[in-house]
Structure 1
Amino acid sequence: MADADTRPNVLFVLTDQERYDCSAPDGPPVETETMDRLSSEGMRFSQACTPISICTSARASLMTGRYPHGHGMLNNSHEADAIRPNLPPELPTFSELLAESGYDCSYTGKWHVGRDQTPEEFGFSYLGGSDTHHDDIDDAFREHREEQGVPPDEVELEGELYTGDDPRDTSSGTFVAAKTPVDVEETRAWFLAERTIEAIEDHADGDGGGPDGGEPFFHRADFYGPHHPYVVPEPYASMYDPAGIEPPESYAETYEGKPQVHENYLHYRGADGFDWNHWAEAVAKYWGFVTMIDDQLERILKALEARGLADETVVVHAADHGDFVGGHRQFNKGPLMYDDTYRIPLQVRWPGVTEPGSVCDAPVHLHDLAPTFLEMGGVSVPDAFDSRSLVPLLESGGDPSAVPADWPGSTFAQYHGDEFGLYSQRMVRTDRYKYVYNGPDVDEVYDLKRDPAELQNLIDHPEYADVRREMRERLIEWMERTDDPNQGWVPDVLRNAS
Structure 2
Amino acid sequence: MKKKRPNVLLITSDQQHWNTIGAFQSELATPNLDRLVREGTAFTRAYCPNPTCTPTRASIITGMYPSQHGAWTLGTKLLEDRHTVGEDFQAAGYRTALVGKAHFQPLRGTAEFPSIEAYPTLQDLDFWRSYEEPFYGFEHIELARNHTNEAHVGQHYALWLEEQGCEDWRSYFLAPTGTMDPSIRHRWPIPEKYHYNTWIAERSNALLERYAEQDEPFFLWSSFFDPHPDYLVPEPWDTMYDPEQLTIPELVPGEHDANPPHFAMTQEESPDFSAWRESGLGIHGYGSHLLPAEERKRLVATYYGMVSLMDKYIGRILDRLDQLGLRENTLVVFTSDHGHFYGQHGLQYKGGFHYEDLIRVPMLVRYPGLVPAGRVSDAIQSLVDLAPTALRMCGIDVPHAMTGVDQSAVWRGEQAEARDHALCEFRHEPTTIHQKTYVERRYKITVYYKQAYGELFDLQEDPGELRNEWSNPAYAELKSELLLKLAWAELGKESMPMPRIWHA
TM-score, normalised relative to structure 1 = 0.83
- Summarize the alignment of residues 38-437 of structure 1 with structure 2, pairs less than 5 Å apart: 38-76=36-74, 79=75, 82=76, 85-87=77-79, 89=81, 91-115=82-106, 116=115, 120-131=134-145, 139-146=155-162, 147-149=164-166, 151-155=168-172, 178-205=186-213, 207-208=214-215, 215-248=216-249, 250=251, 252=253, 254-265=255-266, 267=271, 271-396=288-413, 402-403=415-416, 407-417=418-428, 422-437=432-447
Query: Separation in 2 of the partners of 1:61 and 1:188?
Result: 24
Amino acid at match of 2:321: L
Letter in 2 for 1:403: A
Deviation at residue 29 of structure 1 after TM alignment: 1.3
Q: Return the alpha-carbon distance in structure 1 between the equivalents of residues 237 and 286 of structure 2.
A: 26
- After TM superposition, give the deviation of residue 483 of structure 1 in Å: 4.8
Contact 1:253-1:329 at 8 Å conserved across structures? no
- Cα gap change, 1:394 to 1:232, in 2 (>3 Å): same
Residues of 2 paired with 1:441 and 1:74: CA distance? 23
Q: Deviation of residue 170 (structure 1)?
A: 5.2
* One-letter amino acid matched to 1:144: W
Q: Note the alpha carbon deviations across 1:53-91, whole angstroms, 9 max, x for none.
A: 111000111111111111111111xx3xx3xx23250x3
Aligned to 1:36: 34
Q: 1:253 and 1:237, CA in 2 relative to 1: closer, same or farther beyond 3 A?
A: farther
After the TM superposition, which of the residue ranges 229-238 and 434-443 deviates more from structure 2? Answer: 434-443
Question: More displaced, 469-478 or 3-12?
Answer: 3-12
SS at 1:219 equivalent: strand
Counterparts in 2 of 1:60 and 1:127: CA distance versus 1, 3 Å:
closer
Structure 2 distance, partners of 1:336, 1:444, is 10
Shift in Å, 1:449? 2.3
- Give matches, 1:447-486, under 5 Å: 447-483=458-494
**Structure 1 pair 71–127 and aligned structure 2 pair: CA distance change class (3 A):** closer
Matched to 1:290, the amino acid is: V
- In 2, the alpha carbon distance for the partners of 1:136 and 1:63 equals 24
**Superimposed CA distance per residue, residues 93-146 of structure 1 (whole angstroms, 9 cap, x where no aligned partner):** 111111111001111000111242688232313342412689989632223334
Match of 2:97, SS state, is: strand
* Amino acid paired to 1:464: Y
Judge which range, 4-13 or 228-237, deviates more.
4-13
Please tell me whether the aligned partners of residues 16 and 320 of structure 1 are also in contact (alpha carbons under 8 angstroms): yes
Return the letter of the residue paired with 2:166: G
How far is 1:469 from its partner?
A: 2.6
Mapped partners of 1:137, 1:117: distance in 2: 14
1:373-417 per-residue CA deviation (whole Å, 9 max, x = no partner) reads 1112222111111111211001226xxxx326xx33221111111
Listed as ranges, the gaps of 5+ residues in structure 2 are 107-114, 118-132, 175-180, 272-284, 496-504
Determine the C-alpha separation between the residues in 1 that align with 2:156 and 2:165. 13
Query: How far apart, in 2, do the equivalents of 1:117 and 1:318 lie?
Result: 26
Give aligned-pair identity as a percent: 30
Contact 1:13 1:221 in 2 (8 A): yes
Asked if the contact 1:30/1:287 (under 8 Å) is kept, the reply is yes
Kept in 1, the 8 Å contact 2:153–2:173? The answer is no
Distance 1:305 1:88, change over 3 A: closer
SS at match of 2:222: strand
Change (3 A) 1:262 1:67: same
Counterpart Cα distance in 2 of 1:221 and 1:35: 14
AA paired with 1:352?
G
Does the CA-based 8 Å contact 1:259-1:441 persist in structure 2? no
The answer (yes or no) to whether the contact 1:368–1:389 under 8 Å persists in 2 is: yes
Q: Distance in 2 between matches of 1:300 and 1:422?
A: 43
Separation in structure 2 between the aligned mates of residue 74 and residue 135 of structure 1, nearest angstrom: 25
Q: Which amino acid aligns with 2:159?
A: E
**Farther off after superposition, 247-256 or 352-361:** 247-256
CA distance in 2, matches of 1:151, 1:271: 36
Partner SS for 1:22: coil
CA distance in 2, matches of 1:409, 1:378: 24
Q: Which has the higher helix share?
A: 1
Distance in 1, Cα, partners of 2:91 & 2:153: 23
Q: Distance in 1 between matches of 2:295 and 2:154?
A: 35
For 1:285 and 1:292, the matched residues in 2 are separated by: 10
Residues 171-191 of structure 1 deviation map (CA, whole Å, 9 limit, x = unaligned): 8xxx9x521133221111111
> Distance between the aligned counterparts of 2:170 and 2:154, measured in 1?
17
Distance 2:431 2:26 in 1: 33
1:489 maps to what in 2? none
Query: Counterpart amino acid of 1:105?
Result: T
Structure 2 vs 1, CA of residues 262 and 441 (structure 1 numbering), >3 Å: closer, same or farther?
farther
**Unpaired segments of 5 or more residues in structure 1?**
158-168, 209-214, 485-498
Tell me the distance in 2 between the aligned counterparts of 1:5 and 1:324: 44
Deviations 1:155-183 (A, max 9, x none): 399xxxxxxxxxxx958xxx9x5211332
CA distance, structure 1, for counterparts of residue 95 and residue 337 of structure 2 = 23
Equivalent AA in structure 1 for residue 476 of structure 2? A
Q: Letter of the aligned partner of 1:225 in structure 2?
A: D
User: Is the alpha carbon distance of 1:293 and 1:250 closer, same or farther for their aligned partners in structure 2, counting shifts above 3 Å?
Assistant: same
Bigger drift between 115-124 and 42-51 goes to: 115-124
Cα 1:451–1:26 shift into 2, 3 Å: farther
What is the TM-score when the length of structure 2 is the normalising length? 0.82
Q: Counterparts of 2:70 and 2:266 in 1: how far apart (Å)?
A: 24
